[in-house]
Amino acid sequence: MKKPNPVDVIGGIATAVVTGIVAASLADHDVSSLILLSVICSMLSTGMTLTERVAKAATTEVYRCSAQGCSVEIRATRNHSPERLAVLRGMATDHTRHGSAAA
Ligand SMILES: [Zn+2]
């Protein structure tokens, strides 16, 4: 079961509110229901796509090696267990653990 994170919830609410406002104002102008429906659909899908991107960016951890000249970095999404994230962070930040892989 995936628990919705706050960004998903906020993005979803913002999308729904904006879509509702636009739909209401278009309805005021006697726009046909077919056009109204297509506008609503495209706004919802755009909003959800943006939300997904923001949510993904907000839930990705980047661990970089601090050794000079080493470009090793590990990106991990936060839906891994804390133990696993700690292992990944350890691998990225401890240069001796990946030193041979770097140029
Ligand atoms: Zn390194």
Ion ligand 1: residues, CB within 5 A, are 65, 67, 70, 72, 95
- For tokens 């601090």, the residue is 66
Averaged pLDDT, 50-62: 84
Dihedral (CA of 14, 15, 18, 21) sign: negative
Q: For residue 100, what pLDDT is reported?
A: 61
Q: pLDDT, tens digit, for every residue of 14-52?
A: 888 888 888 888 878 877 888 888 888 898 899 888 888
The rounded distance, in Å, linking the Cα atoms of 80 and 56 is: 13
Ligand 1: centre distance to CA 54 (Å)? 29
Q: pLDDT, tens digit, for every residue of 2-18?
A: 677 777 888 888 888 88
Domain ranges of the chain: 6-58, 60-98
Ligand 1: centre distance to CA 68 (Å)? 8
Structure tokens given for 28: 């005021």
